[in-house]
Amino acid sequence: MFGRRKKSGAAEDAASEAEQVVDAVEGEDAAAPRRVNLPPAPRPDGPWDISEVAKPDEGRVDLGGIFVPGVEGMELRVEVAGDAIVAATVVLRDSAVQLQAFAAPKNEGIWGEVRDEIATGIVQQGGAIDEVEGPLGWELRAQVPVQLPDGNRGVQLVRFVGVDGPRWFLRGVISGQGAVQPEAAGLLEQIVRDTVVVRGEGPMAPRDPIVLKLPNDAQMVPDGVQQEEQESSRFSGGMGQLQRGPEISEIR
């Protein structure tokens, strides 16, 4: 089942949170030290460029700008900005990973610089950041301020991962149990590794999102609406909407 939803400003939405964080630092002090953008590192375990995979659609869902690995029991949602689909979120039990691909310069990666910006934005919002070297390389483990349903303030634990490729950058935002329990994160991390990015040959400015498309056989379900016969969808695996686990904690 595909869930389709507009981008919103809700802090509890990890995908929207990632966008807000990057936007939050647009006006930061130009004199602040910036991280040097190094050439993209080798990717022996992926994610892959379209030129590196003989059959990208084998075992993957074709979303145009990216091929997302198919996993039993997963639900695949898309994120819409205006009329364009710019991100895909794989929901697996009580965890999720949002995938979004961007154009990047030919000879340098941008993940180091983007990490700085995300970290600065979250700290400015009152959150906390820990930069660590994880299974996918350097990542940010963030405590992002959110408003709980009862109106109290809390924090959501989110992992921001990123990989620089040839003229593209792939960002993953891991939330739910995958952000707090390593044993729940392994499959989500493998989804990131197995993703194939299709940058295209046309000119694109660095950081422009690589636009996605829906597969021809996709079924669109508005956000928050359950599909009665989910088990008939090859993407839903019969699961319902993502239920948030203990990754959101109240601040007292």
- Judge whether 130 lies within some domain: yes
- At 51 the pLDDT is 94
- At 107 the pLDDT is 86
- Judge whether 178 lies within some domain: yes
- Judge whether 33 lies within some domain: no
By the 10 Å C-beta count (0-12 exposed, 13-18 middle, 19+ buried), 74 is classed as buried
- Judge whether 49 lies within some domain: yes
Q: How far apart are CA 127 and CA 154, in angstroms?
A: 10
- Judge whether 228 lies within some domain: no
- At 42 the pLDDT is 79
pLDDT tens column, 159-204: 999 999 999 999 999 999 999 988 889 999 999 999 999 999 899 9
pLDDT tens column, 128-153: 999 999 999 999 999 999 888 888 88
User: Domain containing 203: what range?
Assistant: 2-25+45-207
- Judge whether 110 lies within some domain: yes
- Judge whether 60 lies within some domain: yes
- At 191 the pLDDT is 96
- At 113 the pLDDT is 94
Q: What is the pTM of this model?
A: 0.75
Structure tokens at 232: 């008939």
Residues of the chain with pLDDT under 70: 1-36, 217-252
Total of domains in the chain: 1
- At 251 the pLDDT is 39
CATH number of the domain at 7, please: 3.40.1000
- Judge whether 234 lies within some domain: no
- At 224 the pLDDT is 53
Which residues in 96-122 are b (16+ Cβ under 10 Å) and which e? bbbbbbbbbbeeebbbbbbbbbbbbbb
- Residue type for 112, please? G
